[in-house]
Structures are given as C-alpha cells and as structure tokens.
Amino acid sequence: MLRFVLRRLASGVVLIVVITAATFFLLHASGGNIARRILGQEASEDTVVQKTHELGLDRPVLTQFGDWLSHAIHGDFGASWFTSQPVSDAITSRLQVTLELVVGATIVSGLIAVALGVLAATRRGWIDRFVQFLAVLGFAIPNFLVALALVTVFAIHFKVFKPTGYTAIEDDPAGWLSTVTLPIVALSVGSIAGVAQQIRGSMIDALDRDYVRTLRSRGLPESRVVYKHVLRNAGGPGLAMLAVQFVGLLGGAVIIEQIFAIPGLGQVSVGATSQGDVPLVMGLVLATAIVVVTINLVVDLLQGFLNPKVRLS
Amino acid sequence: MSPLLDVKDLVVDYPVKGFRKPPFRALQGVSLEVEPGECVGLVGESGSGKTTLGRAVLGLAPVTSGSIGFQGREIGRLGRAERRALAGDLQVVFQDPYTSLNPSLTIDQILTEPLIARKTGKAEARNRVRELLDAVHLPSDAGQRLPREFSGGQRQRVAIARALALDPRLIVCDEPVSALDLSTQARVLDLFQEIQARTGVAYLFISHDLDVVRHLSHRVAVMYRGQIVEWGAAAEVTVRPQHPYTKRLFLAAPVADPVKQERRRAERRRLETMEVSR
Amino acid sequence: MTSLRRRLLRNPIGLGALLFLVVVVLSAVFAPLLAPHDPNTANAYDTLSGPSGKYWLGNDSSGHDVLSRLLFATRLSVTLTAETLVIAAVLGIVLGLLAGYYGKVFEAVGSAATSLLQALPAIVVLLAAKSVLGPSDFAAMAVFGVLIAPAFYRVVYSAVSAVRGELYVDAARVSGLSDPRIIGRHVLTVVRAPVIVLAANIAGISVAISAGLDFLGLGDPSIPSWGGMLNDGFANIFTQPLLVLWPSLAIGLTCVAFALLGNALRDELERAAVPRKKAVVTRQTAAAPIVPDDALLSVHHLSVGYPTANGSMQTVVEDVALTVRRGEVHGLIGESGSGKTQTAFSILRLLPGGGRIVGGSIAFEGRDLAGLSAKEMAAVRGKKIAYVPQEPMSNLDPSFTVGSQLVEPMRIHLGLSRADAKARALELLARVGIPNPRRTYGSYPHELSGGMAQRVLIAGAVACDPELLIADEPTTALDVTVQAEVLDLLRDLQRERQMGVLLVTHNFGVVADICDRVSVMRAGRIVETGPVRSIFADPQHEYTQSLFAAVLSNTEGEGVVA
C-alpha cells in the first residue's frame, strides 16, 4: 500500500514538473517583447532593454526555467510583473475561495448523482428515462448559461440570493451560504449529469453479473444486494468519473466566478492571461496542477479501498 | 521423407506485466512432428501450453528459442510478409465459432477474405465460395447471410470452409468442437475426417477432451505444464497411458455408463491414494 | 452504417436535433443573405432597444442589430466547431488506431500524452495559451482540439485493442491479409460508430467552450460571436434582459441538439438488445398433482416465458414435471437452449431480466414456491434451497473477501454471531478441501484458482444446511481432473447431509458418475425421465437414443490402466 502511494506521488511530481516546464517554455517562446508590453508603447528602447535585463529575460530560457524551479521549490514563486505582488499572496487566498466552490459542487453532485443513478438503475422504467433525459440536458447546457438563468431568476427576480460578491465563511456563515449557493448549483448541474450516467451504467452492468444471482441465491435481502454489493462494485467507475468532473469543475469555476463576481482563481486567471503576466500564469498553472494531482491521488487511494485488485497489485 | 511440421525444442516466453518480473515460460522445450495427411492430437488441461504451441506454429506467439520447420523450411521467426506467403499452406480453425467470425461481415465476405490476399478474380472467387460451402455441407445461399443467423455448429463449418479456401497442407485446429453440443460435435468431427480423407490435409488437433482426440488422431501428444509428457500412436497413448499424469487425466474423464464409471472412479481413487502414500 | 442512418431518421428526437443543426449550418452559410442589417454597423441612436419592426430582436449596447449579429456569429461558431472536430478527430483517431493495433511505443506515447493533456482543466490551459496566442478564437480552438483529442484517442484505442484480441483478426492474419487490409476490414468498422457518437458530443462541448471564452471577453471583439453577445447582454441585464436571451438560446439549443443527436445515435446503436416490454400474463395454477411421499421438490406443468419485442411471451420451458426426492441426485440433461438452466433458475425464482413463470407449480415442503412473495422467497433461498453456479470465478463478488461472503448469509439465516459464523465458515472451508482455510478466508476471489473458487461456492451453498441443492453445470468450467475432485466432493456432501440435488448438465459422463435419476430435456420439454441405470441401459425416447449415439465411445480404454 505504501509503495502504491509513493509510486503515485512520484508520478504526480513528474507530471507537475513536466506541465510547468511545458508552460514555461511556451510562454517564453511566444516571441513578443514582454518588457515592451509591461512598460507600454511610450517607453524608450533603452528602458525596455533595461527592464528585459532586470527581469532576466535576456538569459537562455533553460537557465530561466532552472532559476524559476529552484526558487519555486523553496516556496518563492516570484512576483507579478505588473503589480509586483508576490505570486503566492495573489494565489493562496483566492485558491481557497475557488476550492470552496469546487469541493462544494463535488460533494453536492456526488450525493445527488449516486441517488439518481441508483434509482434509475434499480427502478428502470419512466424514472430511468427521466434521469437519462435530465442527464443529457445537464451534460449539454453550458454551466454559464445555467448560472445566468439562476442569477436572473433567484437573484434578480426573486432576490433570494445575492447576485454577486462573496462573503467569507468565517465572517458570516449565512452570508457565505447566500453567496456560494447559486455558483455551486450552477457548477453541479453538469457533473451530476455525468456522474449519474456513469453510476447508472455501471450499476446496470453490475446487476447483470453472475455473482449477483449467487448472492440472491443465498437469500440476502434485495436492499443488501443492491447497496452493499452492487453499489460497491459500481462505485469505482463512478468515483473515477467524479474525479474527471472535479477537473472540469475547476475550469468551470473560472467562468462562474466571473458571472458572480467572486474573488477566486478565475478572476486572477483572466486578468493575468490577458496581460501576459508570466510569473502569475506560472503560479496559477502550478497551483491547478497540484490540486489536480492531489485529487487524483486521493481518488486512487479510495479506488484501492473499493477494489481489492488495485490495492493488492 | 521429412515431416510436414517439425517442432524442435520450442520455448515460448510471455512477458509478465510489471517492472523486472521474469517472463512466463508457456512452453519449455517442446518437440513434435506432423506427417503429411496425418492428424496429430494435442491433449492437455488449461495452462498446459497446448494452445500456445498451436499459436506459435501459426506465428501468433513469440518464439524464444527452438525451431519450427514447415515443409522443410524454418518458420519460427518469419517477418509479416513472409508469414503472409505461408497462408496458402498453413491454416487455422479456432475454438469459439462466435468470436472467430466478424459479426458484421457476411459469410461470402468472410470466405473471400483469404482469396483477396491471393488476388483471386471476382468470378473465380464466387465459384470457390460456392465450392467451399458445398464442401462443408452448408446451403449455397448461406453466403448472403450474417454469422448471427447460424448456429454454433454451422458457424464452425464456415470457419472450416475459410481454412480450406486456399487448399492448405496443415490446419491447426484449436479446440474446434469444445463449444459445441454433443450431437453437433459428432457431426463436425465427421466433417473433419471426411475432409482429410478427400484432400489429404494434415491436422494439428488441440483439445482438452481425450475422447475427441482419440476419435480423430493418428498420433497423440499429452501436454502438462508446458511440456509433452507422453507422445506416441493414438491407440497406445489413449488406451494404455504410461505417464502418471496421462493416467490421471484418462481416469478423471467420466464415461457415459454408470456401471463402468463406478469402476473407473474406484480405480481413480485407488491411484490417488497410492500417489499420496508414495 | 447505412442502417444506422436510416434508423436515426426514424428516431424523432434524433431527427429533430439533426434538422435543427442543419438549420444552424445553413443560416451560417447564408448569413449575408439572411441578415437584414450589417452586423457591424452601429446605430448610436438606437442602443439597448427592444424588438421592433426594423430591428426584430432589438439592438445591443453599441446599437448593432441583434438578429444580424446572431446570424453572423453562427458562422464563427460553426467554423470553430468544425476546426476543433477535425483537429481532435485526426489526432485522436490516428494515434488511437496505431496504439490500439500495434501497441508498444504508440501505446506509451498515447497514454503519456493523454494523461498530460488531461491533467489541467481545458479552460485553464486555454487561458494560458491565450496569453501567448492573443485574442484569436481560431488559435484557441486549435489548442482545444489538441486538448480534447484524448477523448477520440481513448474511444478508438479501446475499441481497436479489443478487436486486436478477437479471433477473427487472428484468422485474417493467418489468411495472409496485410495490416492495412485488416485495419480497413475489421478494425475501422468497429471504430466508426462510436467515433460518430463522440463527435456529436464533442461538437457540443466545443460550441460551449468557444462561447465561454468569448463570454469572458477573451475573443476578438471585431468578430460577432455568441459569447461576446452574451457578455454584452449580461453587462446590461438590468436595462435590457432580452439581450441575454437570444445568444443564450442559440448556444443552449445548439449544445442540446448536439447532445441529443449523440444520444439518439448511441441509442440506435445499442438497439441490438431486445427492448423490454412488460407482457401481462397471469400464471395458471394447475390442479393439485399427485406427489410421491418422499418428494422434496415436485414441479408440475411448469412453463417459463420471456417477453418478446412485440409484447407477446416466448415460452422457453413448457409443461415441465420434475420430482426430486430427499437424498436423491436428479440429473437434468439437455443441449444448449433446451431450457434446463431456465428450469433451474425458475425453481430458485432467479430468472434473468424479464423472464417469468407463466404456468404451473413448484411444490417444496408443502408450499408453492411459484406463489411466494419476493421476501418469502428470499427466506427460502440459501436456507432451504441453495445454488451452485457454473462459472466459479464470476460468481464471487470481487470486492469482498471470501470469508465475508460466507459469513453474511449465515448471520442472516442462522442468526449467528460474527465469531460463531466465522468459526463455522472455517470449518466449511476445511470440509470442502481447502488446504489453508484461514488464508482463503481472508483472500479475495481473484487470488483463487477456478477449482478453489468452486469449492468456496459449494461451501457457501451448503453453509445453512439446505434441503435441496441446485447445481447448474457445476463442473463444466473446470479441467477434467478438477471436475473429478469436485464431483467427489458433491457426492460426499450430498450423502453426509442427505440433501436432494438437482444437477443441470450437458455431460452424460457426469450424469453416469453422480446421478440417481435423470430427466432428458429438449426444446423446453422433458422427453424422458427415470433411474440413471435403466435409462443408460435402455433409452426409450428416440432423442435420448440419438444423444447416446453421439457420445464418442471410449470403452476401448476401459479398465486397462494398471
């Protein structure tokens, strides 16, 4: 088990390094004169050259990346080129907000999806068709449209929730709930659809297995067969799907935060990328990659718990 | 005269998944030969390596060492192109008639497949397909239909027809009747015998069922854990087995006669207690 | 494939979605002809106005005609979607084919690239790419095409690597077909359908993504786009809420149409499976039959049916009568499709999907099993009637240890404590000949051999001391030497516990070895029944005779082993 974790951890670290390296080289291969962009069109050629030197951009890209990496390992991710704010400061507080949304949406969609998937697989008939119809719609409609509809109806028309802004949970739990509910719902719709479909499919698949007949032949109550045995076997694929959805939610949050004016990673991302703020973009990519790798590790561990074959191999 | 198929000291290793795990040795130095027009039966239980031997002859399993001679030529390590040239003389009938025919192709398309490779003309191919269907006793209108419209026995006839398309000298038959019902099995075995009598084709006939092998083979090899433990004339090996494993295998198969089966069971249990006490 | 097209046209949802998408494409192509105004002409006097006779859908914040902009924006969406699809499909399919068919290097490259490309959310990558590539939607969607290519790769790869293992591909290779020929004939046909389904779904996603990017204000503002219009509408949502509606409808409907199309295509592909319709059938109870005194199970006029596509029932077991006495092994022999397994399952009331008892009675210990409720039946199963299946490996739940699967029914039926149940399970494992019961108790099914697994299943079946054991081809999946051992075990257990056994098999040798009486089935009916010795010595029915004739005699070798 420990070896399994260590191996996963090592491959995660490799993945993070590869991603950051690829991003770094792409950002620097873009050509465009970065110093000129920072200083604006009016700056003189001399100041541009000086700024380029100051940022270390006149060195070979490989040296620059090595430099960035060694600093990053020591927890120094540099400072924004435009605001000079340290990257770690710009990211950490916002990362927490984004994670609140994404983790909230993952929990909500996991719970609802399991309920819907089990219902559809065991009852079949019209319930099944209804769940599948919802799943197709939920999968198809982009989450920003869902968000716009929610804002229009619940925030602007009925004024039940706040249309924009964010209140920290430690400041005011009720206010927090009023600001994050709509974004979480908007984010969840799509992943509920995906995970429910997956659970339904693998439940139906598992219900058809020989061992289910044998378990029934032993006189186990149907609820035990379904919730203990079938659901556990169908859980693995469902969990894998939830992990895929988590990555998707992380991306979806960028747009949703924009709509609800929530100060999460999304806002920084949009700002940093349209300006070409390399240190900040690097920090964002690194933070996202670390979150994704961590989630995948957690899911792998849970898979090992569900499926003895994974655990023992 | 040299044998048609001459396998010498054949070793096949399958790589095992995982870092630095030693490969799995499926065949550990197997030798056997098949004469033209002969049927050699290959008996063994699952994991004995009998299927691997057949696949190695067909070029579908990796040869680690040893040699496979066919018509006096080494075929153990041929390239893809040379392998293709061999198709006319060396053919196969697989166990499962359900997965050995592509479900989306008609019987005609399946049977013309080997002919395409030979660049046979269209009209000629059509005639040949009719001949083949006739040879395996399928109606000539069978060609338009899909495999799923046929029973297991009929599908196996299609697979046999496909193997016959290029008039091969040797057909590797990998458990060709194991998936069939008893009465169908008997009829398909008759067909194998009839074809051999007419065309003089040789069979390497792989089966787990001693009765089937005895019914058809001239010589029999018994495989156990990647080795041939007994090899000789069918009448000898299947009637008076010498190796303890062959004896056990032989007595383990129940016969369709309650009186005799009771005697055999007693015999088997006696042999087992003897082995344990030894 | 042509049949898929035809079936799609008969699927109302699929057809509707397809027609809508055709309209979308046509309005993109003919936008210059259809648009009433120039999409980029700003009318400074008429901003944020509602629908009017001149501007059917109103004006945006800069005074552009919304309808004209919407039509021109369709052009952008259609081209971007096509671009994404082509890039993703070409990359994914080619690499998927190579990796699936040849494995090795291609496989390693493919899986590495896939995990790299999917490690980050697409939007984050696209944003990072934007900072380099600038505002061009085309460049961004080209990147997205690369990002989404793994979806095609995975579908193609898994389809191809499944086909690569098929015997018909081996047969084609032995027939002398070249690799490109094999791919063309056997591999591409398998890949085509799932790729089309996937393409429909990816098209929907790329519409959403490109609109999302434009909505964030990262697109080229000089080109009308649905996302850009949405952005403008959202900024003015308090003054002119309708402005959000039009682009929302365009994006939403297009995405839904693609998803519905993909769904309809998949449904039609899966249509091969027979649709399940409930046929209303009432079971006819037969008059009380005469039952021998020592009968444990007695089945009368039993019929089993399955619903067919047109709503009628197809009978697979008809008017079957069968008696199993206490302490007797009764063989039920027949060829495939004779209904022998269906008969066994109907006694257990475990008929697979849709199958039901449509007539007759199953008398067991004074009750008619056919009339019990599901709950009453569950109390009988495992406790009174137990089952030994055919395939040992697939009949154990892979996620639980052998021990927990043995203990669970004992705790329910016998009310044993955890410790008592464990002790009994260990005893049972020792009894069925497991060499190291403790170790096997803690093992998972995949760690057992087939013979061991079958012993575990037998232990589980006899755990609660049932009166009747129903064994469905219990040795068919085993090697002959293991089969002999398992038959010995079944015989010993049956004698020691005086169980009645109904043994379903296709093997006359097995019947001769273990059964006292035998019933021969053909086409859903029992044609002959009687004591094994007399039927083997003198079969009466001509079908039984023909079966015996087909048995390959091995009498030559009999008794010669010394």
> ipTM of this predicted complex?
0.87
For C255, other C-beta atoms within 10 Å of its C-beta total 24
In order of C4, C15, C257, C373, the CA distances from C9 in angstroms are: 9, 5, 15, 44
CA nearest to B190 within chain C: C550
**Burial of B185 from C-beta contacts in 10 A (0-12 / 13-18 / 19+):** buried
Same domain, C331 and C247: no
Rg over alpha carbons for chain C, rounded to the nearest Å, is: 34
Strands B24-34 and B5-14: antiparallel
Residues C103 and C139 in one domain: yes
In whole angstroms, give the CA distance from residue A22 to residue B20.
31
Domain of C493, CATH number, reads: 3.40.50.300
Q: How many CB atoms lie within 10 A of CB C304?
A: 24
Query: Looking at residue C505, what is its pLDDT?
Result: 94
Q: Are residues C330 and C436 in the same domain?
A: yes
Identify whether residues C261 and C311 lie together within a single domain: no
C433 contacts: CB under 8 Å, gap ≥ 6: C455, C485, C489
Neighbours of B202 (CB within 10 A): 23
Do C261 and C372 fall within a single domain? no
Q: What is the pLDDT of residue A312?
A: 60
Average pLDDT of C495-501?
94
C333 and C264 in one domain? Answer: no
* Chain center to CA of C237: 47
Best CA proximity match to A249, nearest among A185, A158, A300: A185
Let me know whether C219 and C308 are in one domain: no
CA pair distance C412, C379, nearest whole angstrom: 9
Minimal Cα distance from C173: which residue of B? B84
Does C333 have pLDDT greater than 70? yes
- C347 and C494 both lie in a single domain: yes
Q: Which of B11-20, B24-33, C529-538 has the lowest mean pLDDT?
A: B11-20
Regarding whether C351 and C402 lie in a shared domain, the answer is: yes
Instruction: For residue C53, tell me if it sits in a domain.
Output: no
Same domain, C466 and C501: yes
Q: How do strand C313-325 and strand C295-307 relate by DSSP bridges?
A: antiparallel
Q: What is the DSSP letter of B101?
A: S
The Cα of C237 is separated from the nearest Cα of chain A by a number of Å equal to 8
* pLDDT digits 0-9 by tens, C159-213: 888 888 888 999 998 888 888 888 888 888 888 888 988 999 999 999 999 999 9
CA C404 to chain centre: 27
The reported pLDDT for the residue numbered C556 is 45
pLDDT for A136 beyond 60: yes
A149-190 confidence digits (pLDDT tens): 999 898 888 888 888 888 888 888 888 988 999 999 999 999
Out of A83-87, B60-64, C101-105, which region has the weakest mean confidence (pLDDT)? Answer: C101-105
Determine whether A56 is exposed, middle or buried from the number of CB atoms within 10 Å of its CB (0-12, 13-18, 19+).
Answer: exposed
Would you state the structure tokens that stand for residue C437, as one six-digit string? 């019961």
Q: What is the mean pLDDT of residues B274-278?
A: 70
Residue C250 falls inside a structural domain: yes
- Select from B98, B229, B261, B271 the residue whose CB has the most chain C CBs within 10 Å, as the one to mutate to test that interface: B261
Query: What's the average model confidence in pLDDT over C256-268?
Result: 89
C487-497 per-position pLDDT tens digit: 999 999 999 99
Alpha-carbon span B123 to B127, nearest angstrom: 6
CA nearest C457 in A: which residue? A214
Return d(Cα A223, Cα C447) in angstroms, integer: 28
Nearest-angstrom CA–CA distance, C247 and C253: 10
Decide: C203 and C148 in contact? Cβ < 8 Å.
no
**Model-level pTM?**
0.85
User: What residues does B230 pair with on adjacent strands?
Assistant: B222
How high does pLDDT run on average in chain C? Answer: 88
In a domain? residue C394: yes
Does the distance separating the beta carbons of B185 and C532 come in below 8 Å? Answer: no
Predicted confidence at residue C558, as pLDDT, reads 44
* DSSP line for C51-120: --SSSTT-B-TT--BHHHHHHHHHHHHHHHHHHHHHHHHHHHHHHHHHHHHH-HHHHHHHHHHHHHHTSS
Q: Which of A209, A239, A243 is nearest to A226 (CA)?
A: A209
Percent of chain B predicted with pLDDT > 70: 97
The verdict on a CB contact (< 8 Å) between A274 and C383 is no
Determine the pLDDT at residue C277.
41
Instruction: Answer yes or no: is pLDDT of C279 > 50.
Output: no
Structure tokens at B179: 């998936």
Lowest mean per-residue pLDDT among A18-32, A33-47, C284-298, C369-383:
C284-298
CATH code at position C262: 1.10.3720.10
> Does a structural domain hold residue C171?
yes
Domains identified in chain C, total number: 2
Position C197 in a domain: yes
Sheet holding B219-224, edge to edge: B90-93, B170-174, B202-207, B39-43, B219-224, B227-233
Do residue C557 and residue B101 have CB atoms under 8 angstroms apart?
no
Q: Which of B84, B93, B102 to mutate to test the interface with C (most CBs of C within 10 A)?
A: B102
Q: Would you tell me how many other CB atoms lie within 10 Å of the CB of residue B116? A: 17
Structural domain including C186 reads 2-35+61-270
Kindly tell me if the per-residue pLDDT of C286 is higher than 70.
no
Q: Could you tell me the pLDDT band of residue C73, with boundaries at 50, 70 and 90?
A: very high
For residues C219 and C112, state if they share a domain.
yes
Are the Cβ atoms of C483 and B264 closer than 8 angstroms? no
Strands (DSSP E) found in chain A:
none
C-alpha pair distances (Å), B147 with each of B144, B152, B185, C283, C323: 10, 9, 18, 37, 39
* C-alpha C106, offset from chain centre: 29
What span, in angstroms and rounded, lies between the C-alpha atoms of C387 and C502?
10
Q: Is residue C283 part of a domain?
A: no
B265's tokens: 């069971």
State how beta strands B5-14 and C525-531 pair: unpaired
Largest CA-CA distance found in chain B, in angstroms, rounded: 69
Q: What is the pLDDT of residue A53?
A: 81
> Quick check: C513 and B254 CB within 8 A?
yes
CB B188 within 8 A of CB B180: yes
Share of chain C above pLDDT 90, in %: 59
Question: What's the gap in Å between the CA of B10 and the closest CA on chain C?
Answer: 20
Residue C149 lies in a domain: yes
In a domain, C288, yes or no: no
The pLDDT of B133-151, averaged and rounded, is 90
Q: What is the pLDDT of residues C402-425, one digit of tens each?
A: 999 999 999 999 999 999 999 999
**Where among C237, C270, C303 does a domain terminate?**
C270
Q: Do both C373 and C245 map to the same domain? A: no
Q: Which of C132, C248, C260 sits opposite A145 (nearest CB)?
A: C248
